Amino acid sequence: MKTHQQHTRTWAVVLCTVTLGLWLLGLAAGSRGFEFDLAWTDPIVQDIRLPRTLGAWLAGALLGLAGALAQGLFRNPLADPYLLGSASGAALGVALTLALGAWGAVQSAAAGLSMFFGGALRDVVGTLSSEGALGPALTDPSVGYSMVYHVEMLLLFLTLIAVGPLVKRRTYFSPAVPQTLGLTESRI
């Protein structure tokens, strides 16, 4: 009879073998089906297929890790991305990316990160203030919100200083370039 450690090793070997096989299939899959005759040094393999296969593998691994973390955090084997609202947040991010383009994607990612770090900062400062660690004058729970507000204003000011010189100025003497709205041909 096999021990628990032997079962774990067997499963690890099986999973690594399956992963390697799927990697090779991903490297062989192309626009004309599976091409096993391409060399490793072929530019198609190195420039297109290897990054695509690596990206798919990493995305799957991170999604599995996120699912395991959600199930462990809530001690619920049925926990899914809809429990925390991360699926809705991802849908919002995709919608913003499609609506605003690549710069909009950067802005929405920055907004999500700032919400996360702002909430974490508010919680830490709020906990410290309610425990009295910040002194007797800062014992109100609203100190965390005030701290986040001031940090946000500082970051906004620093962002404006950093991005301000990058903005292209349009003078009245330069001819206006017609711009299109999305995929339509109407001009503004």
Q: Give CA torsion, residues 54, 56, 59, 61, to 10 deg.
A: -80
The answer to whether the CB of 141 falls within 8 A of the CB of 129 is yes
Mean pLDDT in each 10-residue stretch from start to end of the chain (188 residues)?
A: 84 92 86 80 83 87 83 81 68 66 67 74 78 77 74 74 66 56 50
CA-nearest of 25, 10, 89 to 57 is 25
Alpha helix positions (H), the chain: 4-28, 43-44, 50-74, 81-84, 86-130, 143-163
pTM attached to this predicted model: 0.46
Model pLDDT, residue 10: 92
